[in-house]
Structure 1
Amino acid sequence: ERSGMIAYPLLGDSGSVSRIMRSDGYISEFGNRSYLNTGETVQVTLFSDDVQLPDIIFIGSHDIAVEAIFRKLSVSVKVINVGSTGGVNAIRRKEADIAGVHILNPDSMRYNDFSLDPGIGEVAELVKGYTREQGILVRPGNPHKIRSLADIAASGATFVNRNPGSGTRIMIDSILSSAKIEPGQIKGFTYEVKTHYAVANAIWSGRTDAGIAIRQAAVMYGLDFISLGREEYDFLVLKESRDKLSGFLETLKSRWFRDVLSKNFSGYEAIKP
């Protein structure tokens, strides 16, 4: 029996096989409740007695370039993709060693601007990462002739949205607000998925007509891509975890990683040192 450990929920559909495969255990005693409160003490049944604590816990926005760095390092990593805001909150509570974030501040129009959040500055530091190209994904040939979110609303095309709290959703909401478009004007706005590749898959499979994701997702699924600009994908590093993340941070700034980005990931660019 182990005690004093933090259990973190994995988001996903009920009964999802992929979610079970990524989990270490389960909580069975809910009583008549449908949720648990943050900080509540629970008993977790592990799937195996061999479950080991990871060397590094990464919580935040999903990105496959991050996975390339972790594959190169000889450390065990637990990756929990919950979106940028979820990553910030996990760092604030010291539940993660590092978080991937791409949050657009609609007032300053700057990415990952935590200057007005002294609580984060006390426990973490921001490490610059790289940029990614974001845009609208549509099926080949762009049958609805979409060039903007306004076109999606006007054409009646269906849309796949991102989950609240994700950096992409924050960007979507900012674009709609600036263009004075009500969410209800976009058909399918309440259809939400949790990763860029889930957006691409929904369009590729014909479940919807358009969505916003990174260029790399469009390339992987053979979709057309209408660029909306570049975003900054950075890292919040827990100060007390800086030493254990030294290998990750060195690899992030290495020539090897810059070459990997340019050769293997469409729409990615390293930030010049």
Structure 2
Amino acid sequence: MEKKSYTTEEVAQILKVSKLTIYDLVKKGLLPTYRVGRQMRIDPEDLEAYINRSKKGASTISIKENEFPESPVSNGKGQRQGFNNTRQIVISGQDFSLDILANHIENSLNGIRPLRSYVGSLEGLISMYQGYSDIVSTHLIEAESREYNLPYINKILVNFEYVVINLLSRKAGFFVQKGNPKKIKNWLDLKSPNIKIINREKGSGARVLIDESLKKHQISIHEVNGYGYEETNHLSVASAVAKGVADVGVGIEKTSNLVHGVEFIPLINERYDLVILKTPENKALIPQIQSILNSNSFKSDLDALGGYDLSKTGQIIYET
């Protein structure tokens, strides 16, 4: 009989907290996990043990660092460490390249255990502000300046010191059905009541691209048929278009190659960057990450996936 285990999403539902709170508990070593493929799993007995400790006042579910007691997994200097003195870092974002980055970190950096959080760009930056995430990926465009990422990072990470390193660039655009039966070419076509869009969730880079582009072209969201219908990743959006649930969605070129019955209309080259706080804890981590990004093995793994521009990979875009 297969042993039961929980995903982080299921544990978050059970405890009625956010997924990021669960990641924080894992990082602090308060909730043991193991991995099955790309997913973290939590055994029922470990969850029950954590709940029992919480009832006894040994720990609490909280986003405040100082509300967690010192334990054998803490080094006493405020640094978060997992079991066996392994530091656990959360990498947020949804692109396949981040899974490859996590594998390279795990294989080449001793004492570092990467955890993956599949949240959007804005939620990732907010989680970094709150202390939940260590490496945040972001692809957020500002309509007026057409600048990627920095306007949002500067506003959210106020009074923080950080470095922004390019991961890659990629093409973003419309998913349409094979043959493009509705003859969709640009954003203005979304004003047609005969064209139904499938949207992305609030906080995702694709959603920001949609909203900023509608704003630039002076299109009201009330004019866009299907604006309230959301999916949470590129693959789900492309699949909905392929099935005819919607006529158009926004995503990246790579995903269109994975879904039968979908064509891609490129609109923009988006810059996909990584953000890391310049904390004492990250003093050694930042050059290590940059070294991985610049390595031939990492770039070769990304290049094998196809559809990425790696000309600036590993370059520091901005730092405070």
Q: Calculate the TM-score normalised by the size of structure 1.
A: 0.78
- Kindly tell me: are residues 197 and 245 of structure 1, through their superposed partners in 2, closer, same or farther at Cα, counting changes over 3 Å? farther
Deviations 1:29-61 (A, max 9, x none): 76xxxx88x99xx999964456877722122x3
Q: CA deviation at 1:25?
A: 2.5
| Structure-1 residue corresponding to 2:203 | 165
| Structure-1 residue corresponding to 2:68 | none
Deviations 1:249-270 (A, max 9, x none): 3222222233333331325444
Residue pairs, 1:194-213, within 5 angstroms: 194-213=232-251
Q: CA deviation at 1:248?
A: 3.6
**Residue 294 of structure 2 is aligned to residue 261 of structure 1:** no
Q: Find the aligned partners of 1:112 and 1:23 in 2 and give their Cα distance.
A: 27
- The one-letter amino acid of 1:249's match is Q
- Kindly tell me: are residues 44 and 50 of structure 1, through their superposed partners in 2, closer, same or farther at Cα, counting changes over 3 Å? closer
Match for 2:7 among 13, 16, 21? 21
| Structure-1 residue corresponding to 2:71 | none
- Kindly tell me: are residues 140 and 121 of structure 1, through their superposed partners in 2, closer, same or farther at Cα, counting changes over 3 Å? farther
Q: CA deviation at 1:216?
A: 0.3
Q: Find the aligned partners of 1:27 and 1:180 in 2 and give their Cα distance.
A: 39
Query: Are the aligned partners of 2:143 and 2:215 in contact in 1 as well (CA < 8 Å)?
Result: no
**Residue 152 of structure 2 is aligned to residue 152 of structure 1:** no
Deviations 1:234-260 (A, max 9, x none): 011122342346544322222223333
- The one-letter amino acid of 1:58's match is I
- The secondary structure found in structure 1 opposite 2:235 is helix
| Structure-1 residue corresponding to 2:170 | 132
- The secondary structure found in structure 1 opposite 2:271 is strand
Match for 1:225 among 260, 264, 268? 264
Residue pairs, 1:114-125, within 5 angstroms: 114=151, 116-117=154-155, 119-120=157-158, 122-125=160-163
Q: Find the aligned partners of 1:203 and 1:72 in 2 and give their Cα distance.
A: 34
Unaligned runs of 5+ in 1: 1-19
- Kindly tell me: are residues 230 and 217 of structure 1, through their superposed partners in 2, closer, same or farther at Cα, counting changes over 3 Å? same
Aligned length: 246
Q: CA deviation at 1:121?
A: 5.5
- The one-letter amino acid of 1:95's match is Y
| Structure-2 residue corresponding to 1:55 | 88
Query: Are the aligned partners of 1:129 and 1:270 in contact in 2 as well (CA < 8 Å)?
Result: no
Q: CA deviation at 1:134?
A: 0.2
- Kindly tell me: are residues 130 and 121 of structure 1, through their superposed partners in 2, closer, same or farther at Cα, counting changes over 3 Å? farther
Q: CA deviation at 1:229?
A: 1.3
- Computing the radius of gyration from Cα coordinates, the structure with the larger value is 2
Point out the more displaced range, 262-271 or 213-222. 262-271
Residue pairs, 1:92-111, within 5 angstroms: 92-111=129-148
Residue pairs, 1:227-242, within 5 angstroms: 227-240=266-279, 241-242=281-282
Q: CA deviation at 1:82?
A: 2.0
Q: CA deviation at 1:213?
A: 0.2
The root-mean-square deviation of aligned C-alpha atoms, in Å, is: 3.1
Q: Find the aligned partners of 2:303 and 2:211 in 1 and give their Cα distance.
A: 30
Q: CA deviation at 1:174?
A: 1.4
Q: Find the aligned partners of 2:199 and 2:304 in 1 and give their Cα distance.
A: 29
- Kindly tell me: are residues 144 and 261 of structure 1, through their superposed partners in 2, closer, same or farther at Cα, counting changes over 3 Å? same
Q: Find the aligned partners of 2:123 and 2:133 in 1 and give their Cα distance.
A: 10
Deviations 1:100-148 (A, max 9, x none): 1111122321111147538445243212221110010111111111111
- The secondary structure found in structure 2 opposite 1:131 is strand
Match for 2:114 among 74, 77, 80? 77
Q: Find the aligned partners of 2:119 and 2:209 in 1 and give their Cα distance.
A: 16
Q: Calculate the TM-score normalised by the size of structure 2.
A: 0.67
Point out the more displaced range, 182-191 or 197-206. 197-206
Q: Find the aligned partners of 1:173 and 1:227 in 2 and give their Cα distance.
A: 17
Q: Find the aligned partners of 1:175 and 1:184 in 2 and give their Cα distance.
A: 14
Query: Are the aligned partners of 1:87 and 1:99 in contact in 2 as well (CA < 8 Å)?
Result: yes
Match for 1:215 among 230, 253, 263? 253
Q: Find the aligned partners of 2:158 and 2:275 in 1 and give their Cα distance.
A: 9
- Kindly tell me: are residues 29 and 88 of structure 1, through their superposed partners in 2, closer, same or farther at Cα, counting changes over 3 Å? closer
Query: Are the aligned partners of 2:139 and 2:270 in contact in 1 as well (CA < 8 Å)?
Result: yes
Ranked by relative contact order (alpha carbons within 8 Å, sequence separation 6 or more), the top structure is 1
Q: Find the aligned partners of 1:160 and 1:118 in 2 and give their Cα distance.
A: 28
